Amino acid sequence: MTGRTRRLLRGGLVALLVLALAGVVGVVVAFPAVAATTCPGCYGMVQLRPGVHVEPGLSSAEEQHVLEVVDSAERQVDGFFGGLASSPSFLACRTDACYSRIGGGGERGVAVLNRAVMLSPRGLDPVIATHELTHVELHTRLGGAAVPQWFDEGLAVLVSGDDRYLRADGDRCRVEPAGPLPSTLPEWLRAASADPQVYAQAACRVSRWAATNDVRALVAGLADGAPFPDIP
């Protein structure tokens, strides 16, 4: 190998390393939630148990509460789907500063890339944790298949039993769907920011359909390539 060849190889290697580093930095800057769920410790989170990370400085009672919230969410989703196909990590924050640092916004909680659930101080609640875990479980089971956003959100409300948007029993609808519901994520975000009761409308439609249909069979069928049905 000549000196010139060695210099070219060395230069190419340096260029690749620079590009790789730039890519990592870009992800950290542009998508802190992705980076935080990949490396919670890099964002100051501490592990309570495998898969559960929290903001440091919590009391024993606060740590126990987080574990109870996670356990409750896992039991609820497991019970609905007949098992857990997903195993996301949980990142729980006691303060807004922590949640902002890991990439959170004004929401109570969020599912990140179907591999993690982030919970804000307002989301340290079994209902919110169950809602977000339902998103992860659904998309894990779907594989690459897609569902309308209203079904995704309505199902998460149904599984979590969120009484802000569903009644406890009987016909569980609180708000009748007012025409077509948002099918894409951008449409959903716009609608929900204008009227949070769109969650109740979606939950109404999903709960009524689920009362006489098998959600698990639907999801399995979609994963196998079946089309999404016409749900009135």
Q: What is the pLDDT of residues 74-100, one digit of tens each?
A: 999 999 999 999 999 999 999 999 999
Q: Which has the minimum average pLDDT: 13-22, 55-64, 138-147?
A: 13-22
The three-class DSSP label of residue 52 is strand
Percent of residues, the chain, with pLDDT higher than 90? 81
**Residue in 221, 231, 227, 229 with CA at minimum distance from that of residue 142:** 221
The full set of domain ranges for the chain reads 28-124, 143-227
How is residue 163 annotated by DSSP? T
- The model carries a pTM of 0.86
Which structure tokens are listed for 102? 């890991």
Question: What count of other Cβ atoms lies within 10 Å of the Cβ of residue 177?
Answer: 18
Please provide the average confidence, as pLDDT, over all residues in the chain: 88
Residue 23 has pLDDT above 60, yes or no: no
> What pLDDT does residue 111 have?
96
pLDDT digits (tens, 9 = 90+) for 116-153: 999 999 999 999 999 999 999 999 999 999 999 999 99
Taking a C-beta distance cutoff of 8 angstroms, is the pair 96, 75 a contact? no
Cα–Cα dist 195/189, whole Å: 10
Name the E strands within the chain: 46-49, 52-54, 89-92, 109-112, 116-119
Greater confidence (116 vs 18) lies with 116
Q: How confident is the model at residue 32 (pLDDT cuts 50, 70, 90)?
A: confident
> What pLDDT does residue 31 have?
59
Which structure tokens are listed for 148? 């309308």
pLDDT digits (tens, 9 = 90+) for 167-197: 998 899 999 998 899 999 999 999 999 999 9
Question: Residues with Cβ < 8 Å from 115, sequence gap 6 or more?
Answer: 37, 88, 89, 136
Residue 7 has pLDDT above 80, yes or no: no
- Report how far apart the first and last C-alpha atoms of the chain are (Å, whole number): 71
**Residue in 139, 127, 129, 124 with CA at minimum distance from that of residue 166:** 127
pLDDT digits (tens, 9 = 90+) for 193-217: 999 999 999 999 999 999 999 999 9
Greater confidence (114 vs 228) lies with 228
Residue 10 has pLDDT above 90, yes or no: no
Residue 61 has pLDDT above 60, yes or no: yes
Cα–Cα dist 80/222, whole Å: 18
Which structure tokens are listed for 201? 């409308």
Residue 101 has pLDDT above 90, yes or no: yes
> What pLDDT does residue 25 have?
30
> What pLDDT does residue 178 have?
82
Q: How confident is the model at residue 102 (pLDDT cuts 50, 70, 90)?
A: very high
Q: In this structure, is the dihedral angle defined by the CA atoms of residues 116, 120, 121 and 125, taken in order, positive or negative? A: negative
> What pLDDT does residue 6 have?
39
